[in-house]
Structure formats: C-alpha cells, structure tokens
Amino acid sequence: MPYLQLAIPCTEDRQPRVERALEDVGALAVTLQDAHLDAADEQAIFEPGVGEIPLWREMTLTALFDADSDALWLLAALEAFDPGIDWTQARFEKVEDQDWERAWLDQFQPMRFGARTWIVPWNHELPDAAQAGDAAVVRLDPGLAFGSGTHPTTALCLAWLDGLAARGELQGRELLDFGCGSGILALAALKLGAARAVGVDNDPQALIATADNAQRNGMVIDVFLPQDEPVRAYPVVVANILAVALDALAETLAARTEAGGRIAMSGILAGQEGELLERYAAWFDELRVARQDDWIRIEGRRR
C-alpha cells in the first residue's frame, strides 16, 4: 500500500508544534530522525533516562498520509493550524509500504559477548558455537524497546555480566536492571546463572518487551515502573541509561546496591565519566572505566 510522505526540517524547540500540526491534519504516523544522520556531527540519541525524552537539536520530521491525500490541501491546512511554522520547507513524495520490522530483523545477526553470552534473534538459527554446553543464549525480539546488543552501551554491559559470571559473582544472586529496555541484560544475567532479575523502566512498552522476551526464553522477570518499584537492595545492579540520569539517580542506585554488591553503569559518552566517577565515589570503591568506541562503562563495588 503506497503513502504520501511529508518531510520537514525542524529544531528541538519547535518539534512539539510541528508534530501537533501534522497529527491535526490527519497524519497516520510521525517519525523523527537526526538531521545530520550521515554527517560527522551526528548527535547520538539512544535509551532515554528515567523521565526524559531527549531529542536532536536539529531533526527531520516525517509524516505519512493516505496515498490519495492532496499535498496542496495539506499545506494549506498546516498553514492554517500553525502559521508560525515555515511549511514551505516541506517536501512530498510517494513511498511504497514495506515490512520495516522484517527488514530490521534481517540485519540483526547472532552476536557473542565475552566467553559465553550469545544474543540471537528469535527467528535465527543458533550458530554452532552458541550450541556449546555452557553457552548462555538469549533469544531476543527487541520490539519497540531499546536493547539488542548492537549498541556499544549494551555490549559493554553484556561483557561485564559475562565477566562477572566467570568470576562466580553472579551465580545464584539477584539482579536489578534499571532502565531494562528489551530486557536483554536481565535475561543475560539469568542465563549466566543469576537466581532472579528485576527490571525497571519508565517506558511501559519496555516492560511489555521485557516480559515478552522473558516468556520467549522460558523465564520470568519482575518488571516495574519507577514509581511502583519495591525499595530494596540487590547484590548486582546494572543501569544502561543516559549520563544525566545516572547523575540524578546516584543516591537511588547507591541505595539499590547492597554492601559489597557490584554495579555497572553505561550510556555514558567519552568525556562524561569524570563527573560520574567523582559522584559515585561517595558510595563505591574499585571504580573502573571501560570504553568501546565513544561510549563508557563504569563499574564499582558498594562500600
């Protein structure tokens, strides 16, 4: 089924106005994309922090309309709805429908992290190496939630969990995955020997994705919105969220980590780790930094 697609450049401060106008004139869907997607100054946006909806400073809003929609009529309607927006920058084209999820899954291949951890798409055959007796295999369908293992922040946390298991510090223990996304980290921990995993996320879709992926793997993960999360401490905590959220939630994450417990935090761009190391030194010893590409993981032990 074809569509009429409208694309318009937009700044962060005007995004809500532009999106409201597009929805008011009948847009079937509105998506956002970094205006510098192919440029060297691309601004990375990934898993939002708790209570945050981060956006690019400059973006392109793309709206889909029925194929028989009249472009001139749409422009007139948009101008009438919000004349303060420069709608002359809008560009129209006919596009064919396609199975976007299918296309994405075709590019999502099995990945190995550390010595034993494998993330395998639910529709993909297991590689021979992932069929070894001690392999920890997570079957994953990320759905609409963040976390497939392809981003360095997730990869850093998966490698940390694998190493923790190799040292015997995960077996039979409980884990808190704060900002659980697709549930990938909690599931990996369970596959590596954790006794129980709890997932917390501010996005209801993430809780659905986590529960679905847990069921797909024959496991159970208790999931909560932040306001519903039981207040208690865990021997293992992992938080793959934005640096600004890690800073704001420092006291919370410290309280969620029991004495002697381990924590790993990612979602930190290189250059942001200094302030976080200083912040978390109030509660944690043995703070260490690992890096992959432009992303940082901080780990430590609760004092």
**Domain residue ranges of the chain, discontinuous segments joined by +:** 3-97, 105-302
Tell me if 3-97 shares its fold with 105-302.
no
Alpha-carbon radius of gyration of the chain: 22
Q: Is 240 annotated as a binding residue?
A: yes
Tens of pLDDT, residues 61-113: 889 998 889 998 999 999 999 999 999 899 999 887 655 455 555 556 888 99
292: exposed, middle or buried (C-beta count within 10 Å: 0-12, 13-18, 19+)?
middle
Cα–Cα distance list, 173 to 61, 116, 197 (Å): 45, 18, 9
pLDDT at site 48: 41
The response to whether 179 counts as a known ligand-binding position is yes
Query: What does the pLDDT read at residue 280?
Result: 98
Domain boundaries 3-97, corresponding CATH code: 3.30.70.260
- The pTM assigned to this predicted structure is 0.69
pLDDT at 22: 93
Q: Among 151, 117, 1, which Cα is nearest to 66's?
A: 1
Q: Domain 105-302 maps to which CATH number in 3.30.360.10, 3.40.50.720, 3.40.1350.10, 3.40.50.150?
A: 3.40.50.150
Q: Is 38 annotated as a binding residue?
A: no
Tokens of 215: 């069921």
d(CA 156, CA 154): 5
Q: Which amino acid is at 168?
A: G
Tell me the per-residue pLDDT of 270-302, one tens digit each, with 9 for 90 and over: 899 999 999 999 999 999 999 998 889 999 999
Q: Which residues of the chain carry a pLDDT beneath 70? A: 1, 34-56, 97-108, 141-150
